[in-house]
Amino acid sequence: MPCAARGVLRHFTTALPLLVLVGCAAGGGGGATHTYYVAAEIVDWDYAPSGANRITGAPFTPLDSFVVAPQAEFIGRVYRKAIYREYTDSTFTTQKPRAPEWEHLGILGPLLRGTVGDTIRVVFRNKADRAYSMHPHGVFYNKDSEGAPYNDGSGAGDKHDDGVPPGETHLYTWPIPERAGPAHGERSSVVWMYHSHTHEEQDVNAGLIGPMIVTAAGKARADGTPADVDREFVVAFLESDENVSWYLEHNITTYAKQPAKVPRMVPFSDFHYLANLRESLNGFSFGHLDGLTMRRGERVRWYVFANSNFEMHAPHWHGQTVVANHMRTDVLSLTTMEMVTADMVPDNPGTWLFHCHVAPHQLAGMLATFKVE
């Protein structure tokens, strides 16, 4: 048993000592347990921090401005959101710094990782202002680790995970069986998501979503990364519908210059509604996603996924091709909550556009660049 975190603890409040939980990440498969300390917390998130259009290299145009500049009836580029962040231990006092190669995760929660046969355990602390949860895709969970409330007949002891109240802590346990790893003939690793599912629509649009990578048994390095890959990137094509975020009213009253003039409960076709559909890559619009840097000839694996609205994205790489779904292409098809793995061996140095090919999404800023050195 490689990790002291193995035990019978299921859920507990902050009042109980957590000293028995010791972080570990033995890696490499064969029954290791990986313990992560993840908090939900409130941030004021800037979708375009430089204040300029980094794709055009020019100031925002009047057309861009309704999504980037606070105006009488529009919120601008900063929104209050709830996001997942990783901490070093069960005291939840020190955020774990992101490794440079993972800074591009942006608004996404921490990367959780395991190999088939391992177990992922998440000590979840709700540092936000309302009940949230962690619901994983792909991996195995019992009812105390599903993170979703519905009429499933589970008893009171299996409900705490459904919506962890502010200030409380829950231990989610997610074994990684064979069926959570790559299928026969697939690549050496696959991507899954986790997200809050207490009120799925509002929670995910508020920002509570993150990635998880599972590597096939026998195909991982000691740190869990797939041994046949040099560089991994995770990019979420996120249409964040801020109209259904829990923080819409806060954002209107805080950021719109004349909150009283902002119409509430407008139909989907209304411009006020469209202006709150934030199209981003990992929470960054108009070229603000940094860190997509690789070298020519490296074996690069891209994991992409979409958010939970009427998503219809077409991730497109300029200057290179990828292999995905046993097919060579440079444009993927990505619908709601779809997760796709694509491999690239970049052969063409330079700075290249990486964007959604859906025209309205481009107009709203769903563009980034990547760099091949």
- Name the residues that contact Cu ion, by CB under 5 A: 313, 356, 358, 361
Please say whether the beta carbons of 139 and 192 come within 8 A: yes
> How many residues does this entry show for the chain?
373
Q: Report the nearest approach of Cu ion to the CB of residue 238 (Å).
A: 9
Distance from CA of residue 231 to its chain's centroid? 18
User: How many secondary structure helices (H) and strands (E) does the chain include?
Assistant: 5, 21
Q: Report the nearest approach of Cu ion to the CB of residue 177 (Å).
A: 33
Q: Report the nearest approach of Cu ion to the CB of residue 268 (Å).
A: 16
Which one, 106 or 224, has the nearer CB to Cu ion?
Answer: 106
Owner of token pair 């999504």: 67
Environment class of 1 (CB within 10 Å of its CB; exposed 0-12, middle 13-18, buried 19+): exposed
Q: Report the nearest approach of Cu ion to the CB of residue 330 (Å).
A: 15
Amino acid at 140: F
- Which residue stretches of 167-309 are H helix? 200-206, 248-255, 271-274
Handedness of CA 172, 177, 179, 184 (dihedral sign): positive
Q: Report the nearest approach of Cu ion to the CB of residue 362 (Å).
A: 8
Q: Report the nearest approach of Cu ion to the CB of residue 205 (Å).
A: 15
Which one, 272 or 313, has the nearer CB to Cu ion?
Answer: 313
- Which residue from 285, 130, 250, 255 is spatially nearest to 196, judged by alpha carbons? 130
- Which residue from 244, 147, 248, 264 is spatially nearest to 204, judged by alpha carbons? 244
Q: Report the nearest approach of Cu ion to the CB of residue 365 (Å).
A: 10
Which one, 260 or 359, has the nearer CB to Cu ion?
Answer: 359
Which one, 195 or 361, has the nearer CB to Cu ion?
Answer: 361
Which one, 237 or 246, has the nearer CB to Cu ion?
Answer: 237
Which one, 24 or 331, has the nearer CB to Cu ion?
Answer: 331
Paired residues of 115 in beta bridges: 215
Which one, 54 or 361, has the nearer CB to Cu ion?
Answer: 361
- Which residue stretches of the chain are H helix? 62-68, 200-206, 248-255, 271-274, 359-363
| Cα 356 to Cα 309: distance, rounded to the nearest angstrom | 15
Which one, 78 or 358, has the nearer CB to Cu ion?
Answer: 358
What letters, b where the CB count within 10 A reaches 16 and e where it falls short, cover 322-355? bebeeeeebebebeebbbbbbbbebeeeeebebb
Q: Report the nearest approach of Cu ion to the CB of residue 317 (Å).
A: 14
